[in-house]
Amino acid sequence: MIKNRRELFSIHWTCASFAGLAFLAGCASTPSATPKTAGWIKDEVADSYVFGYPLVLMGVARDAAVGTDPGQAPLNTLRHAQALPPIGAANPPQPGVDTLDSTGWLDVGSEPVLMSLPDSHGRYVDARVLDMWTNVVWSTGPQFATTAKGIKAQTIAFVGPGWQGELPNGVKRVDVPTANAWVSVRIQSSGARDLAAVRKLQRAIRVAPLSAYAADSRSAPVAPPRGNADSAPAAAGTPAAQVAALDANGFFSRLADALPDNPPTPADPHALKILADLGVTPGNPVKLPRARDAVEAGLADGHERVGTPPSNVLTGNGWSWFGDGVGNYGPDYALRAYAARAQPGIGTRDDEVRAVVTQDSDGHPLNGANRYVIHFAPNQLPPVRGFWSITAYTRDGALGESAPARLAVGDRNGARRNRDGSLDVTVSSTRARNGNWLPAPRTDMQLVLRLYAPKPQATDGNWQPPAVVRQ
């Protein structure tokens, strides 16, 4: 049975707490001027950590990706993946093996940035742009609502706050509420023999600021964004690992530094008031309360909250996946923070569904040394307009070392149905006679079922993936 308890937050804040006031915004009482106790400070630090986590995470990810070093790209340019991720890849976690990705960071603070996409001639393309709070401001997902035959040529202008001016004819305007934004273009690939065609489409993508676009320049890279050296990440690894390694002062310093160019969306004066009570104001040095134990306890509570699935995450047969609210979170800060940590860059319900399972039908951890079967009944196949696939990863989200670990099973790579229309996927580290064999790492693992351009029933509670049954 699918669990989908749609409380606004998984954390039971009440009107008795001004910390809760900031996030529920349903109480109208005025905060007291009485000095805060250690308990109040702990709660407000934790609530503010959940609130600010996506912005800090995006800032860390941007700083790691923008530049001229290998693996980086300047602002307003795309970095094109030229091959599928290698065995052992874990950054980002759960790297996809169905697409070649082109990603980059936009600076829309001074002028619009235009992106032109070519006609994909029927090939699946998923393009999306997220603001710095991880809300999806534009994507190609809705274009698949009536057809799954690729995308048509189009140009979109991403316009930052306060800009007024004229755009070229035929260009669609999309307003971005933050000075920076993240863009991802994923192009479906059918394997090594197909890479040349994918790369050709990648080369046809054009990203440039309005001034350079009008001058017919391919791109006009700009300098890396402003940053606070005192709030630099304290650890290497994924952006999530870097954020987790920040102490309270480091985290809130990064948040304060990012807020002037990236105001909260939606606007939330209550949350900003709580931050100010903690000594965190946009663009200014942080002055946290001297109650060190309470601050550290609040930080630890915040860490736990962003790693805990909120109650409106869908679950069924051991799998978990995001429902209708993903990608456009409104004031659902718990879901927003958890989604940013668990599935960085996730789109809306129209773009993608990524269901994850770590246990079999008996509740035991999945391990590639065992053999499992996933049985899709004829009416239970993943509901998609695009395509679907299943991939096995280690528990930390890396592609396993056992060749051919990059293989995914799905409807685009020859998955065979049974005579009655059902479909079985066998998962193990040793080859199975079943034609739908998914190689798995010989260790504790997780499975990820991806639905590209999912149909509404994938996220409205009317469908769920089948159980993973050990043989």
- Residue 340, pLDDT score: 98
Lowest-pLDDT choice from 39-53, 306-320, 333-347, 423-437: 423-437
| Residues in contact with 219: Cβ distance below 8 Å, sequence separation at least 6, in sequence order | 76, 77, 206, 207, 208, 212
Of 287, 306, 325, the position where a domain reaches its end is 306
Residues 93-105 have a mean pLDDT of 91
Residues 12-28 have a mean pLDDT of 34
Whether pLDDT at 147 is above 90: no
CA angle (412, 414, 418) in 5-degree steps: 120
End-to-end C-alpha distance for the chain, whole angstroms: 23
Average pLDDT score over the chain: 86
- Residue 342, pLDDT score: 95
| Residues in contact with 120: Cβ distance below 8 Å, sequence separation at least 6, in sequence order | 150, 151, 187, 201
Judge whether 392 lies within some domain. yes
Residues 313-319 have a mean pLDDT of 97
Whether pLDDT at 405 is above 70: no
Residue type at 19? A
- Residue 217, pLDDT score: 47
187 and 72 assigned to the same domain: yes
- Residue 88, pLDDT score: 62
CA distance 111 to 95: 33
92 and 140 assigned to the same domain: yes
Q: How far does CA 232 lie from the centroid of its chain?
A: 22
Residues 441-456 have a mean pLDDT of 95
Residues 406-418 have a mean pLDDT of 84
104 and 146 assigned to the same domain: yes
Q: How far does CA 50 lie from the centroid of its chain?
A: 16
- Residue 46, pLDDT score: 98
92 and 29 assigned to the same domain: no
Of 214, 247, 276, the position where a domain reaches its end is 214
Judge whether 311 lies within some domain. no
- Residue 191, pLDDT score: 76
Judge whether 177 lies within some domain. yes
271 and 202 assigned to the same domain: no
- Residue 223, pLDDT score: 44
- Residue 89, pLDDT score: 65
DSSP state, residue 227: -
Tokens encoding 203:
């080369």
Residues 312-339 have a mean pLDDT of 96
Backbone angles phi, psi at 33, to 5 degrees: -85, 0
The better pLDDT of the pair 429, 218 is held by 429
Whether pLDDT at 15 is above 90: no
Judge whether 219 lies within some domain. no
71 and 206 assigned to the same domain: yes
In this prediction, what percent of the chain has a pLDDT beyond 70? 85
Tokens encoding 170:
């035929």
Taking only the tens place, the pLDDT of each residue in 388-400 is 999 999 998 888 7
107 and 200 assigned to the same domain: yes
Judge whether 334 lies within some domain. no
Whether pLDDT at 150 is above 90: no
Whether pLDDT at 404 is above 80: no
3-class secondary structure, 392 = strand
- Residue 400, pLDDT score: 79
User: Residue 255 sits in which domain range?
Assistant: 18-60+228-306
The better pLDDT of the pair 187, 33 is held by 187
Q: Which of 85, 80, 86, 117 is nearest to 101 (CA)?
A: 80
Question: 470 - beta bridge partners?
Answer: 372
Give how many domains the chain has, as a whole number. Answer: 3
- Residue 95, pLDDT score: 86
Whether pLDDT at 234 is above 70: no
Burial class (CB in 10 A: 0-12, 13-18, 19+), 23: buried
- Residue 154, pLDDT score: 96
Lowest-pLDDT choice from 17-21, 105-109, 454-458: 17-21
Residues 12-18 have a mean pLDDT of 32
In this structure, are residues 406 and 85 in contact, taking their beta carbons and an 8 Å threshold? yes
Lowest-pLDDT choice from 173-177, 355-359, 433-437: 433-437
Of 214, 244, 270, the position where a domain reaches its end is 214
Judge whether 339 lies within some domain. no
111 and 241 assigned to the same domain: no
Residue 434's CATH number:
2.60.120.1600
- Residue 82, pLDDT score: 85
- Residue 398, pLDDT score: 86
- Residue 318, pLDDT score: 97
Residues 280-292 have a mean pLDDT of 97
Taking only the tens place, the pLDDT of each residue in 325-336 is 999 999 999 999
Residues 437-442 have a mean pLDDT of 92
Judge whether 323 lies within some domain. no
Peptide bond into 92 cis (omega under 30): yes
50 and 78 assigned to the same domain: no
Q: Where do the H-state alpha helices sit in 307-453?
A: 333-342
Whether pLDDT at 427 is above 60: yes
Lowest-pLDDT choice from 87-101, 361-375, 397-411: 397-411
Judge whether 11 lies within some domain. no
Taking only the tens place, the pLDDT of each residue in 114-140 is 999 999 999 999 999 999 999 999 999
Residue 175's CATH number:
2.60.40.1610
- Residue 205, pLDDT score: 97
90 and 50 assigned to the same domain: no
406 and 289 assigned to the same domain: no
43 and 100 assigned to the same domain: no
In this structure, are residues 362 and 419 in contact, taking their beta carbons and an 8 Å threshold? no
